[in-house]
Structures are given as structure tokens and as C-alpha cells.
Amino acid sequence: MTSRISRLLAGLAALVLAVVCLGLFFQRPLGLALARRMAGRAFQRQASMAALPEGLYAGLCGSGSPLPDPTRAGPCVFVIAGKHLYIVDAGEGSPRKLALMGLAPARIEAILLTHFHSDHIAGLGEMMLQRWVGDGHQDPTPVFGPPGVERVVAGFNDAYALDKGYRVAHHGAHAVPPSGAGGVARPFAIDEGSDAGRVVLDRDGLTVTAFPVIHGPVRPAVGYRFDYRGRSLVVSGDTAPCPALEKHARGVDVLFHEGLQTEMVAILRDAAARHGQPGMAKILGDIPSYHTRPEDAGPDCARGRRQAPDLLPHHSGAAGEFSERRLPGRRAEDLHRSDHGGKRRDHGQYAGGQPDHSARRAAMKPGPGRRD
């Protein structure tokens, strides 16, 4: 019996050794085959935007705050009108999230900035770089924004000037034309004392209107309304409750409204004070004064509206936590959401298949719309 068990164990050991040897032998070719497959899928996903049905699409490629969170990039909203891709704000990490969603930065038509807080512009340099090198653009990225956008764009252009030289020298001007590097500012004036909007972009059936919001002492700060073939959406930017936002969000299909979870911020403020960090406690105590609680955003913006839009809060809950309230009267035909453990994770597919993590997307086909 002992001899039989010994032979059985020896056979099993030989089998395990053979499996391990085969695994080691085929590890490299299997790994390369998997890499080829994944690379092909990545480029296939980037090409899928062209196959989208005609319409207006939007989603989050960043919904974080300055507080550290490994699951979220900084504030960033993508908008697809027809075959054209636009970006609102470029928070840290948002260019990579955009690529993970299958949206090639090379397809970006323009970037629109709501204001110049660091968390909304930290990814701007990388976003402009990826657009340039991704398709050999000969013209720099248009960057729209209120007064001050000139300084922001010029600063990033200067910071990336050495990098530009390295890439041209390495890849050649035919692959990365020097004229396409960086960005070009497209400033527009805005009347902060009025709720009037200003059309900042009008092309290929898309109208983008900027309007003032309340984010003092940050002045000016704006939100944007996108109208395309009878569908519409608004991106609030950072703001306290604001009459101009209420006006321009009236009648839209989808509203991306910032949301700050004040209870969580208060917990962090108190913790900072208890642990001898009065400066951080002061900053955390000040933050709620120029933001909107998610539970306040819905009633404020729905007031007086015959039909309310889907509401997608898109900014900072403390430490990744967030609170969401969706208004009734849904009119977007295709709105997908997936949450993980109460946290928002903001990269994924925007069209087709199951969302990776918790991508937010709203797909609005052409249809009747109104602008009250």
C-alpha cells in the first residue's frame, strides 16, 4: 500500500512539474497573444465613436475633487454632438480616463473650461498633448473659457515647450507637426451681473452657450448649455445655487450639476481640527460656501419647469463618497448607471456593452426640444 501511494504521489508531482514547465514554455507566446488581442480591442473601441447613431451623447470622464481618491479623475465631462467630441474641464487623470472609455483624445474638437481652479485644469496639458500626437494635428487645440483662459493656455504651452521639441526631434515633423502642439485660447466675455448667456460656439448644428454661475471669489465662472438637433444638456461647472443656471437648464434633457456632500466635508473639517491642522480645517470649512448640496440641486433647478431633466451630480463628495438625486420626467432614451460600494468610479464604455466600473452616459437621439 505504501509503495502504491508513493508511486501515486510521484506521478502527481511529475504531472505538476510538466504543467509548470509547459506554462513557463508557453508563457511568453501566450502573453504576447493576449497583448495583441487587448491592443486590437483598444484601437477598435477608439474607432467605435464613428459608428454611433446620430445624436447628442454625454458622460463623465472625471468626477473627483482635490481630495485623493484612486477611483476618480478630476472634473471632466465629454459631449459628442454628431461625430464631434467636446470636453468640458480637464481635471487630473481625465485624459487617461477618456482613453479608457474608448474616446481618443485625438478626436477632440475643442475644450471648454468653466473656471480656473487647479482641479479643473490640471489635466489640460496632457489633454492637448494627446490630441496633438494622437493624429498629427496641424492646428493647436482650441480652448474656450472666460477671461483668464489666455494666461492658463499660455502657461501650459510654455510648460510643455521642451517636451514639444523632444517629440518633434524624435518622431519627425511629419508625424507630430510643430504647429499642432499645445492650445490656442478662445476667450469670451460674460456679464456676471446678468443671467444672460453668450453663444461661444455655433457649428455643424451644435450651439454652445456660456452663462455665469456663482463661485465667488472665483470670477468669472461659467456653465455651458449644448443644443443639438432638438436635444440639449447643461454642465453647471462649480456653483452655489444660481438663478442663471436655473434659467439655462430649463427644458434640457440632462443636467450635469455639481454636488458637494457637506456632511462628509464637515467630518473631515472636524478631524483636521482635532489633529492639529487648523489651516486645513479652515479650508474645509470654507468649501461649502460656493458649492451646492446634491439634495438642493434638484429642487432649485426644477422650480417652475414643466418637465425636469435627468440630474447627474458630478463633483466632490468627500473621500469619494457621493449623493445623487435623479429628477422625474426622464426624456433621455439611453442613460446608464452603475455604482460600486457607494463610490463613483468614472471610466467605462459610453456606448455598447456593459459599463466598465461606473461610466455615466446619456445618449439623446435627435428629437423635439424646446428652449424656454
Q: Which of 62, 182, 180, 67 is nearest to 126 (CA)?
A: 182
Helices (H), 193-293: 243-249, 262-274, 278-286
Q: Which of 258, 204, 200 is nearest to 225 (CA)?
A: 200
CA 214 to chain centre: 22
Do the beta carbons of residue 254 and residue 310 sit within 8 Å? Answer: yes
Do the beta carbons of residue 346 and residue 357 sit within 8 Å? Answer: yes
CA torsion sign, 234 to 78 to 356 to 71? negative
User: How far is it, in rounded angstroms, from Cα 85 to Cα 78?
Assistant: 7
Do the beta carbons of residue 258 and residue 236 sit within 8 Å? Answer: yes
Number of H helices, E strands in the chain: 10, 14
User: How far is it, in rounded angstroms, from Cα 359 to Cα 323?
Assistant: 16
Of the residues 69, 89, 119, 346, only one is catalytic, namely 119
Q: Which of 47, 108, 51 is nearest to 78 (CA)?
A: 108
Cell 479643473, residue?
120
Cell reading at 261 = 456632500
Query: For residue 150, what is the enclosing H or E element?
Result: helix 149-159
- Is 119 catalytic? The answer is yes
Do the beta carbons of residue 320 and residue 71 sit within 8 Å? Answer: yes
Rg of the chain over CA atoms, in angstroms? Answer: 24
Q: Which of 74, 113, 116, 65 is nearest to 96 (CA)?
A: 74
Q: Kindly list the catalytic residues.
A: 119
